[in-house]
Amino acid sequence: MPSTSFHGFEIPDDLIHRTGGGPETLTVISEQHIRNLSSQHPLTSGLRVLEIGCGIGRDAIPLAALIGANGSYIGTDVIYESIEWCQRHVSARHPNFEFVWHDIRDSLHNPGGELEPSDVRLPAAAGSVDLVFAQSVFTHMLPDQFQHFLAEAARVVSDDGTVYLTCFRVDQEILDTARRTNLTQYDLRFEHQYSPGCYVNELDHLTGAVAYEMSQLRRLVDAAGLQFRGPVRLGAWSGHFPVCFDGQDVLVLARRPTFNG
């Protein structure tokens, strides 16, 4: 079975493809993720981390060297084979790294899943995590799912912790540019309004890609008990912005001081 070397691990190429991207972009994407995360929350020894949508450990593996044996990491995903590989290989080398499979029904990655997103609780105690992050996960969530996992992030993050997630933030000008430039391989046009402030890219696969207007993002963040820690960080996906932080737009959030979980 073809595999790719990555930080001393041999990762099966088929699992890399299921995570998004391919072997040729594995290192580049991982380095960008770690660099961007560290700019918003220091990735220091002893850090307590939870990742939603960990895949095959593209970010978990380099994090092991940064947070050390005194830190902790929990990764969740809907792809059983990826979680099983991480348990056998990453946890074996780093016992403070835990990987949890959530059998959520997903038309692309886990069509036979038995759980609804609302059935899932993140596997961490209230206020026990310094950094919750999700790369290209909330980009596949409809409003109810988005709010549920935001609320779960608000529950587990510490009072001085950070919630970091990527999304697609749109308005009419951004949509016009995206439809004109079409920079990605996914034809992100978001021509279908699913609900107020929420757009989907495909009617026959609603969670293939989901975008939100800023007013809706504010509502979802507030309802979850979180607050923005600075402006939305602009992504390059639409071609609308000359200087960008990441490929997708990024929300950097914190727990509201009055939120009790």
Mean residue pLDDT of the chain comes to 95
Q: Is the pLDDT of residue 260 over 60?
A: no
Task: Decide the pairing of beta strands 157-167 and 198-200.
Answer: unpaired
pTM value is 0.95
15 vs 3: CA distance, rounded Å? 9
What lies within 8 Å, CB to CB, of 98 at 6+ separation is 72, 73, 74, 75, 91, 123
HSE at residue 252, side-chain half, CA atoms within 13 A, is: 16
Q: Assess contact for 76 and 123: CB atoms under 8 A.
A: yes
CA dihedral 257, 249, 111, 51 (to 10 degrees): -50
**For residue 73, what are its two tokens?**
């990491």
pLDDT of residue 259: 55
Percent over 90 (pLDDT), the chain = 89
Lowest mean pLDDT among 58-62, 186-190, 203-207, 257-261: 257-261
Which pLDDT value is given to residue 169? 98
- Give the pLDDT score at 65: 97
Overall average pLDDT of the 40-67 stretch: 98
The pLDDT confidence band at residue 247, using thresholds 50, 70 and 90, is: very high
pLDDT given for residue 21 in this prediction: 84
For residues 96-124, give the mean pLDDT. Answer: 90
- C-alpha closest to that of 148 among 117, 170, 115: 117
Phi-psi region at 197: left, alpha or beta (left = phi > 0; alpha = psi -120 to 50): left
Q: What is the pLDDT of residue 261?
A: 57
> Is a pLDDT exceeding 60 seen at residue 200?
yes
pLDDT of the residue at 174: 98
Alpha carbon distance 233, 173 (integer Å):
17
- Quick check: 121 pLDDT over 60? yes
- pLDDT at position 164, please? 98
Contact 216, 198 (CB under 8 A): yes
**How many angstroms separate the CA atoms of 200 and 208, rounded?**
8
Condensed to tens digits (0 to 9), the pLDDT of residues 84-96 reads 999 999 999 999 9
Domains, the chain, in order of start with CATH, read 3-167+228-255 (3.40.50.150)
Q: Within a 10 A sphere around the Cβ of 209, how many other Cβ atoms?
A: 21
Residue 29, amino acid: I
Separation in Å, CA 54 to CA 136, 232, 241, 258: 10, 23, 28, 30
Indicate the DSSP class of residue 119.
Answer: G
